[in-house]
């Protein structure tokens, strides 16, 4: 990316706030779309997001805030989407392909668009004619909360165009962020989706009282399921033991900051799905993802007993106690 390229961030949640904080280190001007006009005004006045990562001091001298999506799209050459996948279709209603003409799009979304059973890369390619070589993904292992605390974190930037990936990696690198690049757009994005499902499984098991020994077996089986699935969907050479796959899975499955693990823990403790969602007041992407993955896998037929167990608990309303007991006999 050229130095005079304009960067736009779309989203007002934790990840969007973390990305804005990081990017302010390396860009002179940043466009930021936040849906709520009240939030826009609050950030302008107090330099803090009123709802997410409130402790982060935002350099508003470098940020052009707006609640108008079209304005951010028009002013930005590179667009970073950091909005929950369940809301993407609604968010971009009324936006046509011309708004994305000649633009580079990066997804920081960790979910599947349920209306299309589609990863974000495919959604932007099919809906807005963005070429795949101008679409990238920003993935972990990294929690927004630790970025806010400026704890050392790692990001993987994936794009089929290596130059675009490297340029974005440079923009995101700073004192507390190290970056690596990858050309595995589909594998990293699908892995980022699946790790949320396995984090729910981890949380459910923890809520039910399973210990560390079983958790280790659960997650080792999970990375095998990820490898089998993404190799079937996108058969290229990749090393799933690297940070973008295994590292992202581990931090999401084990971290106290993981909203998907927290959601699963509540389910394991006996909360209903609706009650857990209301209590958290945050989106657990894995809830929507597991239903879509099960549908997609009807085409590929990959054995995914952990995914199926989470689906049965969340959507078929099978008792977590019974379903996890059945799962224990399928793991190795």
- List the chain domain ranges: 7-183, 193-328
Res 230: pLDDT: 97
Res 287: pLDDT: 94
Does the pLDDT value for residue 42 go beyond 70?
Answer: yes
Q: Is 30 helix (H, G, I), strand (E, B) or coil?
A: strand
Task: Note whether 63 and 23 are within 8 A (CB).
Answer: no
Q: What is the mean pLDDT of residues 125-132?
A: 96
Q: What is the H or E stretch that residue 81 is in?
A: strand 78-81
Does the pLDDT value for residue 92 go beyond 90?
Answer: yes
Domain 7-183 class? alpha beta
Task: Note whether 18 and 25 are within 8 A (CB).
Answer: no
Res 282: pLDDT: 76
Res 275: pLDDT: 94
Write out pLDDT tens, residues 135-190: 999 998 999 999 999 999 999 999 999 999 999 999 999 999 999 999 999 999 99
Which CA distances in Å does 307 have to 290, 297, 312? 7, 10, 9
Does the pLDDT value for residue 280 go beyond 90?
Answer: no
Does the pLDDT value for residue 25 go beyond 90?
Answer: no
Write out pLDDT tens, residues 288-332: 999 999 999 999 999 999 999 999 999 999 999 999 999 999 999
Measured distance CA(158)–CA(132) in Å, rounded: 11
- Give the right CATH number for 193-328 from 1.10.1040.10, 1.10.10.60, 3.40.50.460, 3.90.550.10: 1.10.1040.10
Does the pLDDT value for residue 2 go beyond 70?
Answer: no
Angle at 280 between CA 43 and CA 196, to 5 degrees: 100
pLDDT band at 119 (very low <50, low <70, confident <90, very high): very high
Token output for 238: 């990749």
Q: What is the mean pLDDT of residues 13-38?
A: 94
pLDDT band at 3 (very low <50, low <70, confident <90, very high): low
**Residue ranges with strand state E in 160-308:** 177-182
Write out pLDDT tens, residues 225-257: 999 999 999 999 999 999 999 999 999 999 989
Res 283: pLDDT: 80
pLDDT band at 43 (very low <50, low <70, confident <90, very high): very high
Measured distance CA(251)–CA(258) in Å, rounded: 8
Measured distance CA(159)–CA(162) in Å, rounded: 6
Res 28: pLDDT: 85
Measured distance CA(213)–CA(224) in Å, rounded: 17
Q: What is the mean pLDDT of residues 203-229?
A: 97
Angle at 230 between CA 317 and CA 225, to 5 degrees: 50
Q: What are phi and psi of 128, to 5 degrees?
A: -130, 15
Measured distance CA(35)–CA(43) in Å, rounded: 12
Query: How confident is the prediction for the chain on average, in pLDDT?
Result: 94
Q: What is the mean pLDDT of residues 89-111?
A: 95
pLDDT band at 1 (very low <50, low <70, confident <90, very high): low
């Amino acid at each position: 990316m050229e130095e005079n390229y304009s960067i736009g961030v779309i989203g007002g949640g934790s990840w969007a706030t973390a990305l804005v904080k990081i990017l302010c280190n390396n860009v002179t001007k940043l466009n930021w779309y936040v849906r709520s006009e009240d939030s826009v005004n609050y950030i302008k006045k107090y330099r803090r997001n009123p709802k997410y990562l409130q402790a982060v001091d935002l350099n508003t001298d470098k940020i052009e805030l707006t609640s108008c999506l079209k304005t951010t799209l028009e002013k930005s050459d590179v667009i970073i989407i950091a909005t929950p996948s369940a809301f993407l279709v609604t968010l971009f209603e009324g936006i046509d392909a011309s708004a994305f003409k000649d633009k580079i799009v990066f997804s920081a979304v960790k979910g599947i668009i349920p209306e299309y059973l589609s990863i974000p890369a495919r959604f932007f390619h099919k809906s807005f004619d963005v070429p795949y070589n101008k679409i990238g993904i920003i993935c972990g292992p990294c929690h927004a909360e630790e970025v806010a605390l400026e704890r050392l974190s790692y990001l993987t930037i994936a794009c089929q165009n290596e130059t675009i990936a490297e340029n974005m990696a440079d923009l995101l690198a700073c004192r507390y962020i190290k970056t690596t690049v990858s050309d595995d757009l589909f594998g990293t994005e699908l892995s980022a989706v699946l790790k949320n499902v396995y984090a729910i499984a981890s949380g459910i098991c923890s809520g039910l009282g399973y210990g560390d020994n079983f958790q280790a077996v659960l997650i080792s089986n999970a990375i095998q399921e990820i490898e089998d699935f993404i190799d079937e969907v996108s058969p290229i050479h990749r090393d799933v033991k690297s940070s973008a796959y295994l590292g992202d899975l581990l931090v999401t499955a084990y971290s106290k900051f993981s909203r998907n693990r927290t959601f699963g823990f509540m389910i394991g403790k006996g909360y209903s799905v609706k009650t857990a969602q209301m209590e958290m007041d945050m989106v657990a992407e894995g809830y929507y993802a597991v239903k879509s993955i099960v549908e997609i896998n009807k085409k590929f037929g990959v054995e995914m007993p952990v995914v199926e167990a989470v689906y049965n608990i969340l959507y078929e309303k099978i008792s977590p106690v019974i379903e996890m007991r059945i799962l224990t006999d399928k793991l190795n």
